Amino acid sequence: MTASTLKVRVARKEVEAADICTFELVRADGGALPPFSAGSHIDVSLPNRITRQYSLCNDPAESHRYLIGVLKDPSSRGGSKAIHELVKVGDVVEISTPKNHFPLAHEAKRSLLLAGGIGVTPILCMAERLATVGADFEMHYCTRSRDRTAFLDRIQRSSFVRRVQFHFDECSDDQRLDIAVLLAEPNAGTHLYVCGPKGFMDAVLSNARRQGWEESHLHYEFFAAEPVKSDADGSFEVMLSSSGKVVVVPKDKTVVEALAAAGTNVEISCEQGVCGTCLTRVLEGEPDHRDLYLSPEERAANDQFLPCCSRARTGLLVLDL
Ligand code: FES
């Protein structure tokens, strides 16, 4: 265990909706948990030795517990299946302290919160926070059906229920979310937050960009990504600026893997380009960005990249390592 990790006990595990469980985590030694802000996630070390990120979905004012909601995803790479099937009440698991790569923008005059499926977890936490501070917001929550809608009761009993609109795929067309209409009038004071499956997020973000939303007003967190591989992928070199050491990245290895084989470990978590943990500064050369973490502007600057998934457009990248 390091200074940034904690042992927590599973105090409660409940079925929240079809294929969705919540896990209530309390500190194993009984103390208060480190504070967190809306949009935060924790890394959970699972019994099958993999680490996954889960957004905290309880009220950020609470310090006695962390609550996470997990969808059992048939296309999972082992994380959601492991936590659903192997983690039981009473188990002690190691987690990271909360990290926030999806914070609320304090300058927002109004917040538009869009959740798709299990992407509701950080969005609900944001809604709690905005309601607590009396901020202006509107939340839209899209799911396939009522029985797959996590936190339905909690939202319906909340003080902010009038600010939430549910959109179920199984219902009539006029009840479904019309993204183009919702985003039709970008406003300088309104910030948009979106979390959900990749197709949902792509639809929301591409619509917002097309309709002229400022990039700085778009806030998003992808929770999974397919690795982007191409037959055209080739090998390239990376140089560590601190030592001048050059490492070859073969076409079938990631930069992180090649560096690890050469004795340089970069901190990683998701290994999918969504969490930002491995973010590394690029001093020379042009990265081939394959992540879902950086904004279009950050990508265009080419001065940082995610070496767990991104590659190089030039033969050499000089890294600030
Ligand atoms: Fe998550 Fe690289 S480890 S983005």
Q: What is the DSSP string of 188-257?
A: TTEEEEEES-HHHHHHHHHHHHHTT--GGGEEEE---------TT---EEEEETTT--EEEE-TTS-HHH
Residue 314 has pLDDT above 70, yes or no: yes
Q: Kindly state the average pLDDT of the residues 238-260.
A: 96
The CB-side HSE value for 125 (13 A sphere, CA atoms) comes to 29
Residue nearest to atom 4 of ligand 1 (CA): 273
Measured in Å, residue 272 CA sits from the centre of ligand 1 at 6
Measured in Å, residue 125 CA sits from the centre of ligand 1 at 23
Q: Please tell me the predicted confidence (pLDDT) of residue 3.
A: 55
Q: Mean pLDDT in the chain? A: 92
Residue 91 has pLDDT above 90, yes or no: yes
Is 292 touching ligand 1 by the criterion CB < 6 Å? no
Measured in Å, residue 274 CA sits from the centre of ligand 1 at 6
Q: Please tell me the predicted confidence (pLDDT) of residue 251.
A: 92
Distance CA 144, CA 319 (A): 44
Measured in Å, residue 35 CA sits from the centre of ligand 1 at 23
Q: Kindly state the average pLDDT of the residues 224-238.
A: 80
Q: Please tell me the predicted confidence (pLDDT) of residue 167.
A: 95
- Closest approach atom of ligand 1 to CA 269: 3
Q: Please tell me the predicted confidence (pLDDT) of residue 226.
A: 66
- Find out whether 40 and 99 touch, Cβ atoms under 8 Å: yes
Is 273 touching ligand 1 by the criterion CB < 6 Å? yes
For the chain, strand residue ranges (E) read: 5-17, 20-27, 41-45, 51-55, 66-71, 92-96, 110-116, 136-143, 164-168, 190-195, 218-221, 236-240, 246-249, 280-284, 287-288, 304-305, 311-312, 316-319
Q: Please tell me the predicted confidence (pLDDT) of residue 269.
A: 81
Confidence of residue 1 (pLDDT cuts 50, 70, 90): low
Is 269 touching ligand 1 by the criterion CB < 6 Å? yes
Percent of the chain with pLDDT over 70: 96
Measured in Å, residue 279 CA sits from the centre of ligand 1 at 7
More confident residue, 156 or 46: 156
Is 138 touching ligand 1 by the criterion CB < 6 Å? no
Percent of the chain with pLDDT over 90: 75
- Closest approach atom of ligand 1 to CA 275: 1
C-alpha 208, offset from chain centre: 19
Residue 7 has pLDDT above 60, yes or no: yes
Distance CA 52, CA 42 (A): 8
Q: Kindly state the average pLDDT of the residues 132-151.
A: 96
Residue 225 has pLDDT above 70, yes or no: no
Token pair recorded at residue 291:
């992540």
Of 99, 147, 97, 95, which Cα lies nearest the Cα of 122? 99
> What single-letter DSSP state applies at residue 28?
T
Is 196 touching ligand 1 by the criterion CB < 6 Å? no
Lowest mean pLDDT among 18-32, 47-61, 140-154: 47-61
The model's pTM is 0.84
Of 66, 59, 62, which Cα lies nearest the Cα of 95? 66
Is 276 touching ligand 1 by the criterion CB < 6 Å? yes
Q: Kindly state the average pLDDT of the residues 128-156.
A: 96
Confidence of residue 87 (pLDDT cuts 50, 70, 90): very high
Q: Kindly state the average pLDDT of the residues 86-95.
A: 94
